[in-house]
Every structure is written in structure tokens, then in C-alpha cells.
Amino acid sequence: MRAMVLERTGQPLRLVERERPEAGAGQLLIRVAACGVCRTDLHLVDGELPDAEPPIVPGHQIVGRVEEIGSGVDRFAVGERVGVPWLGWTCGTCSHCRAERENLCESARFTGHDIDGGYAEYAVADARYAFALPEAARDLDVAPLLCGGLIGYRALRMAGEFSSIGFYGFGSAAHILAQVVVARDRALYAFTRSGDEASQSFARELGAIWAGGSGERPPVELDAAIIFAPVGSLVPAALRAVRKGGVVVCAGIHMSDIPSFPYSILWGERQVCSVANLTRQDAIEFLELAPRVPIRTTVAAYPLEHANQALADLRDGRIEGSAVLEVG
């Protein structure tokens, strides 16, 4: 099979031929049709995730068909369409798993980081962390829901109840979650790179009532903010934008250092929290919600062998919506 492999961080992925893997006990072998390109993949390739151990096949927004079923699996059928997200395995026995917080499992393994992912023609996944997908939407359109959607949904839940919310960074996750916010008749404010008129226009098209640069103050105090961009300096900016009692959620797996800031912008029972990974319950809830909204993803498609170009375009902010590799 063809696979794009990260052999050393800081270096481009390399297209290689590999033996097709097999499904072991409790696993599925999936023929990959599409795989989303996530900023986490970019952090992996750029060496910003210190526990990464190449060689590895990146990719954790996998859409494909079950090709082979390992022993002990009875939830899926050969040919069924499934999705595989970032969280790829947990122990089920640590204190976090027992407390239904499997996203914090001490021994968790992640698709495209510890487990070979979807930048390949085939991928093996733990059947516990694969999810049946409806047939209505295209593979390319569904793929971004499996990370931008799922982890974005968790971030949205952690923001609590709100009438107004700000999104800092308007990429894959934000353009998906914007549709949820607007469908719930909540006010959305979008913050982008200064001067990025294309992203600001895109946010308005999706229902944002205001869009501006990340250094600007919105016209009203916000109830909550979610920071999707991996930029630590946005934390104090978001704190200045939210009201007393407001919540700032940091939604990424990696962020540059947060600069010092005066206590006065945190005071007033404002909160800052992070989102780590996702749970299976997040996936079940969001995948049921998405067609009801309905969520429409905006996708830039690339062939598998152009994965490095997709990552470069993501790094340079040239993608509107989500980048997806068309594999099958």
C-alpha cells in the first residue's frame, strides 16, 4: 500500500510502499477513502509534540470502509463506512477511565501519533474507537468532523451556557462549530489574523455578526471565547474580551507560551481552561448532531501524495475551511 510517512520531525513526509497491515484482536482494517489534515499533524511534523516517535503515518480524521474484522469485534460489518478520530486507544482501568474521563487516560494512544494513521491506503484501528458514519455525505466532507468537529464540540461544551462567544482563529474547527452556534441562535464573533479579510468574510458568510483582527476588542463583552489558534498571546486578549464570569477555552493540543498578564483581567471569576482530546461520548453526541444542524464543511482536497503541500498551505493560512487528503 502507499503511505506518507514521517521519518524524522522537521522533514517532509515521504511517500513509501508498505505491506498492507492486518486486523488483530479487537481491531478493524480500514480501506481509507479520505483523511483530514489537522493542525495537530502540522505540530507533529514540525516537532512541536515532544513525545512523538517517528517513523509514523500521520492522520487522525479517517473515513473509510471496513475491509477486515479482527476477532472479538461484533459491532461492524465488512464494507461498512466508519470514522476514526484522534483518541485511538485507552486502558479502561486508570482512575480517569473509571471516572468516564477517558480523554485523560494515563496510557492513551493517539491515531497518527502513536498508531499509524490515515495518510495511507489502509489503516488499523481499535474497534472501540471507530464510529459508524451515515452514508449521506461525501467522504471528503465528513472527514473534518472527526477532529475539528469532535474536539471543537468538546470545547464548545466546556464554554458552558452563553449568549455570545468569540472564536480566535477561523480554520477547520471554527468553521464547523460556527454553524452549531448560529443554529442555536447565539451571537458569534470571529477573530482572525490582522488584515485577513478573506477569513473574516468567510466567518460572516457562516453567520458571525462581527469579524475582526485578533488584537481588536469586540463591540460587546463576550460570555465566552474559544481559542483555536495555537498562539499563547491570545489568552490575555480573550480574557480582556470576556465579561466577569466569562470562560476562555484553549482548544489546541499545542500552544506557544502564554505571556504574563495582569491579574485584573482574570479577576471577576473569569476562567481559563484547556481541552484535552475527546471521549467516545463526545463522538456519539456530535455525529448525531451534525446532520441535524446540518453542518456543511468547506473542503480543499489534495491527493495523498500531495500531503506535504496540504500541510504547507495549512501552515501559511492558505486554506479556507478544512484540508482533506483524497486517498481512495
Tell me, letter by letter, the H, E, C secondary structure of 254-268: CCCCCCCCCHHHCCC
Domain span(s) for CATH 3.40.50.720 in the chain: 150-274
Is the pLDDT at 312 greater than 90, yes or no? yes
Average pLDDT, the chain: 97
**What pLDDT shows up at residue 138?**
96
Predicted confidence at residue 322, as pLDDT, reads: 98
**Residue spans of beta strands (DSSP E) within the chain:** 2-5, 14-17, 27-37, 62-69, 81-84, 87-89, 109-110, 122-126, 131-132, 164-168, 187-192, 210-213, 222-227, 242-250, 271-274, 299-303, 322-326
> 140-188 pLDDT, tens per residue?
999 999 999 999 999 999 999 999 999 999 999 999 999 999 999 999 9
Buried b (16+ CB within 10 A) or exposed e, 37-47: bbbbbbbbbee
Please report the pLDDT score of residue 52 as a whole number. Answer: 86
Task: Tell me the residue type at 156.
Answer: L
What pLDDT is attached to residue 153? Answer: 98
- 37: which strand partners? 323
- Mean pLDDT over 84-100 rounds to 97
Start-end ranges of CATH 3.90.180.10 in the chain? 2-145+278-326
The mean per-residue pLDDT over the stretch 230-259 comes to: 97
Within the chain, what is the greatest distance between any pair of CA atoms?
58
Percent of the residues in the chain that have a pLDDT greater than 90, as a whole number: 98
How many Cα neighbours within 13 Å face the side chain of 115? 25
Structure confidence by residue, pLDDT tens digits, 209-231: 999 999 999 999 999 999 999 99
CA dihedral 172, 178, 179, 183 (to 10 degrees): 160
CATH entry, 2-145+278-326, from 1.10.10.10, 3.90.180.10, 3.20.80.10, 1.10.3720.10: 3.90.180.10
Average pLDDT over residues 4-32: 97
The reported pLDDT for the residue numbered 64 is 98
HSE (side-chain half, CA atoms, 13 Å) at 256: 9
CATH number of the domain at 150-274, please? 3.40.50.720
Over 90: is that where the pLDDT of 328 sits?
A: no
Q: Are 325 and 305 in contact (CB under 8 A)?
A: no
Rounded Cα–Cα distance for residues 104 and 50 (Å): 18
Asked if 275 and 250 touch (Cβ cutoff 8 Å), the reply is yes
Residue-wise pLDDT for 248-275, tens only, equals: 999 999 999 999 999 999 999 999 999 9
Percentage of the chain exceeding pLDDT 70: 100
Mean pLDDT of 239-247: 98
Residue range 237-247: mean pLDDT, rounded: 98
